[in-house]
Amino acid sequence: MGDMSGPGVNMGDAQAQKASWRSRVLESRGRLSAEERASAGRGIRDAVLSLPELGMAGTVAVYYSVGAEPETRGLVFGLWKRGTYVVLPVLREDGDLDWASYEGPESMVPGARGLLEPGETRRGVEAVARADAVLVPALAVDRAGNRLGRGGGSFDRALARVGPLVPLIALLYDDELVDRLPAEPHDVPVRAVVRPTRGVTPVPG
C-alpha cells in the first residue's frame, strides 16, 4: 500500500495521514464479500491456534469481529473450546475497555455501537494486563510494529496496560502489513501479525 510517512512528521500530519490510511483500508475492506471475510477468518484461526504461545496461554484477550474485519468468531470459539480462558472487550461509556469472559456463543449479547459483548460479569479495565497473550484488531501494521486502529483510542488505552513480555498480535488481511505507517507517541507497537494465507510474521522482523 506504499509509504505515507517519514522522519520529522509532526503529530498533526500523522493524524491526517492516519485518516487517509483508514479511508483507503476501509474502502478496500468494503469490497470484500462475506465469504472472503469468513475465509480469511478461517486462515487466521488456524494460524493462531497453531502458535506455541497460544497453546501455552492460560488466558487470552481477543475481540469479536464486526463489519468487514477478518472474522474472529471461529477463533474465539476454538480457543474457548480447547480450554483457554478467553476475555473479550466491553466498551465503556468513557471509551475505555472493560473485559468479561467468553462462555460460548450464547453468552454474547448486544452492546454499544452495534457490537456484541459477553454478558458475563465484568473483570475491570486491568483484566487485559493479566492475559498471557493479546490479539488485537488493526487496519494495518508496519514493519516496525506500528498499528493503525480505527482512531477511537480504546485499544491504545488497553494495550498500554499490557506488560512488555506479553505477545501482542494483530490480525490482518494479507495486504495490510506495510512498510511504514505514521505513528504517535501514545501508539503501542505489536510484536507480530497474523494473516490468512501468510501466517505469522514477527515485527520488527
Q: What is the CA radius of gyration of the chain?
A: 16
Q: Is 81 helix (H, G, I), strand (E, B) or coil?
A: helix
Contact 167, 194 (CB under 8 A): no
CA 154 to chain centre: 11
Domains of the chain: 11-202 (3.40.50.10420)
Query: Distance of CA 103 to CAs 8, 89, 179, Å?
Result: 47, 13, 38
> What tens digit of pLDDT does each residue of 164-196 get?
999 999 999 999 999 999 988 888 899 999 999
| CA angle in degrees (0–180, nearest 5) for 78-44-58 | 45
Rounded to two decimals, the pTM is 0.90
> What tens digit of pLDDT does each residue of 117-149 get?
999 999 999 999 999 999 999 999 999 999 999
The pLDDT value given to residue 12: 65
